[in-house]
Chains A and B, each alone.
Chain A
Amino acid sequence: MISFSFKKFKMNKYFHFILPLLFVFFIQSCGDKEEFFVVKNIQVGPLNPEMAAKGKVIFQSKCASCHKMESKYVGPPLGMVTKRRSADFVMSQIIDPEAMIKNNDTIKALYAQYNTPMANQHLTQAEARSVFEYLRQVADNGGK
């Protein structure tokens, strides 16, 4: 086992390493933080009704116990979610909600509002994509 003791750490000896390191961390945290996602750069083309149909079946079984389209339920209404969030955002939240609640500021804010962390329903990326397509279709039809 590796153990580490601050007592053994000779401050003056390492000081000239630590200062520049601290500086680098400081500079990085000053910059605009990129939003945390689990999947990135998901490309969305014209609406694919077949994919949306698949997504609807998945949504009803694995998502609809907590999300309605027009009204708040356990979680936020999702009728127009694809108009306000990216595919990267929605799919990341479906695929790994545990990582998102730890790292994504928007999800953290939503948790504060809804009090319930979203369950991981273990959708594959393809399944999450289908659900996103279904939600796009719902939004195209006015979010109902």
Chain B
Amino acid sequence: MQKKFYLLSVALVLAIVVIVMTGCPSGKTGSTVSGDAASKVYVAPGQHDELYGFISGGFSGQVSVIGIPSGRLFRVIPVFSQDAEKGWGYSEETKPMLMTSHGFIPWDDAHHPELSETEGMADGRWLFINGNNTPRVARIDLTTFRTSEIIELPNSGGNHSSPFATENTEYVVAGTRFSVPYPNSDVSIEDYKAKFKGAISFIKIDKTTGAMDLAFQIMMPGFDYDLARSGKMKSGNWMFFSMYNTEQANTLLEVNASQNDKDFIAAINWKKAEEYIAQGKFKEVSGEYYHNTYNEGTHTATSEVKNKVKCLIPEECPGLVYYMPTPKSPHGCDVNPTGEYIVGGGKLAQVVTVFSFDKMLKAIDEKKFEKTIDGIPVLDYKSVVHGEVEKIGLGPLHTEFDDNGNGYTSMFVSSEIVKWNVKDLKVLDRVPTYYSIGHLLVPGGNTRHPYGKYVIALNKITKDRYLPTGPELTQSAQLFDITGDKMKLLSDFPTIGEPHYAQAIAADKIKDKSKQFYKLEDNKHPYKCLTEAEARVERKGNTVHVWLTAIRSHFMPDNIEGVKIGDEVYFHVTNLEQDWDVPHGFAIQGAANSELLIMPGETQTLKWVPKKVGIYPMYCTDFCSALHQEMQGYVRVSPASSAVKISWNKPTN
């Protein structure tokens, strides 16, 4: 009996195995992962990831911070957006961060995060990111993981080829995607060819503080400037920019900007630019732009309005810019770790073009020019090209590198990553991505020494990869292991917004520098309230200021009377905690903005304009202790004609 049972069991198991094997969905090759994939992305509870990843949130205007390899989301940093969760862009202190020459612009399209570098390696100090729509560049401080600074770009029509950094973060750049009149003015769109120009801005970065300053612009022909990359080591004084629409079309670009077989990658010698600026060979051009800085001492942002920019004109600055003809409407423009090869992802071509920096210098030296455009020499293609990677795939967009001489190029149309050898241009491997990969990321793949363990696909479309969520689906990234000859898919994970591009860095370079709280003694906020004894309410005409303190788990004062209809009330809340991970929130009924989320030692201000008579509860919104639920208070709002005087409860000794 037992033997029979045993045989039956074996037969059943075999049957299940056969059913499972043959029943595998044959069309779903994308589900195929190798057996040890899970262990390679598993980060045990309480353990830390190996790398920080910073992924652009695209049209959310934000940046997400994730762990690699787990793909776990740690934080969403609001940059060019209001974020109700954090009070960012809602608190009085942060509103100036979103000011531009067009007024308060609480949204942008964030594309390319860029880590600051020292000697060609990511140093973990700052992260820059561009806003494409109302052209801006932001700097995020990686001790606080908050946006510290935003600078607007004048005379630019869409900041896309940005904010790529030079090897010691001397500059981050910003090339306009949409050319516009320079300086911008009221002209007919039909005058595009005659009057539209493409501004490429160089933003100087202060070595110590990271502070940005618009150093100069180069007034380039009216093309569409797409992406950029700094040279490395021997090519470190050069910045390379890809561009399309050299046809200078101003309508139906889909067709009209895809006529020329070759567009260009521009090589700009920024050291030469510095010389011309020092020699005074610039023009001052008008252009209003805002420069917003968040001060960690006052916990407040301020805006400075500037009106002029130094402009270099290539025709008057020989040796500043050269064009390398590049097939066809190139997107990526990437420099390998040695600085010798510049790779153009020929979006509409079926080849990837690799230029040699040495050849470029030689061609410049020997004046091998095909022609000049607006005084810019166009280098002879054959004299500068190292070679073309043929039959690489459809829609090559963007290339990053490992530390073994290989390039990894994303193929938007054929939805794959192709690995190829940079020197001999041979294709080595290809893997499908799901679906429509845009950029990709090899951690450190844009530096002198790529980390080179992973490549991450940043996909535009997910379709059937996740549980459906209505018409709008999640965006997605895919992690591949590149330690072997063949790339191996490890995991898919969702991202916020559109993951245009990403950066990654070893966790050790950042985690120990992370700020834990703001010291109360360093708080220089004009409305700080550092002791409960100073907590108070003051009326100045129709404005009421409340100096409010918060500590686990009460506000002082928490009973306020004498507010009247018609008043504007400012709650200046100081969090008196001095411990990590103890923010307090503050909300009051009817507030037309958001909550405040106040970090320990910080002061933040909520503006409140009550519209109706009555009693208004206020409370702490961020769970702070077992008595968080008790952290509440009341404000009495009386009619405009009321005689109720301002009063509040005070602690006694």
Contacts and interface: CB of A to CB of B under 8 A. Distances in A.
A69 B551 CA distance: 18
Contacts of B520: 61-62
Interface string B619-643: 0000001110000000000000000
Nearest to A122: B578
Interface in B565-604: 576-579, 582
Contacts of B552: 116, 119
Interface stretch (B91-99, B314-322, B528-536): B528-536
A119 B532 contact: no
Interface string B539-560: 0000000000101111010000
**A interface, how many residues as a size bin?**
20 to 34
Interface string B509-530: 0000000010011000000001
B188 interface: no
B325 to A, nearest CB: 58
Contacts of B626: 115-117
Interface in A24-64: 60-62, 64
Contacts of A144: 653
A105 to B, nearest CB: 20
A65 B579 contact: no
B584 to A, nearest CB: 11
B531 A121 contact: no
A119 B530 contact: no
Chain A contact residues, majority secondary structure? loop
A81 interface: no
A65 B551 contact: yes
A95 to B, nearest CB: 12
A71 B652 contact: yes
Nearest to B555: A65
B648 to A, nearest CB: 15
Contacts of B549: 65
Contacts of B576: 61-62, 65
A47 B344 CA distance: 75
A140 interface: no
A60 B533 contact: yes
B653 A70 contact: yes
A125 interface: no
Contact of A61 (B530, B625, B651, B652): B530
A60 B627 CA distance: 22
A52 to B, nearest CB: 17
Contacts of B521: 61
Nearest to B532: A65
A117 B626 CA distance: 9
B531 A60 contact: yes
A69 B532 CA distance: 14
A62 B520 CA distance: 8
A107 interface: no
A74 interface: yes
Given A64-B531, A116-B553, A116-B625, A121 B577 contact: yes
A64 B533 contact: yes
B551 A66 contact: yes
Given A62-B576, A69-B653, A123-B578, 20 more contacts: A60-B530, A60-B533, A64-B531, A65-B531, A65-B551, A65-B576, A68-B651, A70-B653, A71-B653, A73-B651, A115-B626, A115-B627, A116-B553, A116-B625, A116-B626, A119-B551, A119-B582, A120-B578, A120-B579, A122-B517
26 contacts: A60-B531, A60-B533, A61-B520, A61-B521, A61-B530, A61-B576, A62-B576, A62-B578, A64-B532, A65-B554, A65-B556, A65-B576, A66-B551, A70-B653, A71-B653, A73-B651, A115-B626, A116-B552, A117-B625, A119-B552, A119-B578, A119-B582, A121-B579, A122-B578, A123-B578, A144-B653
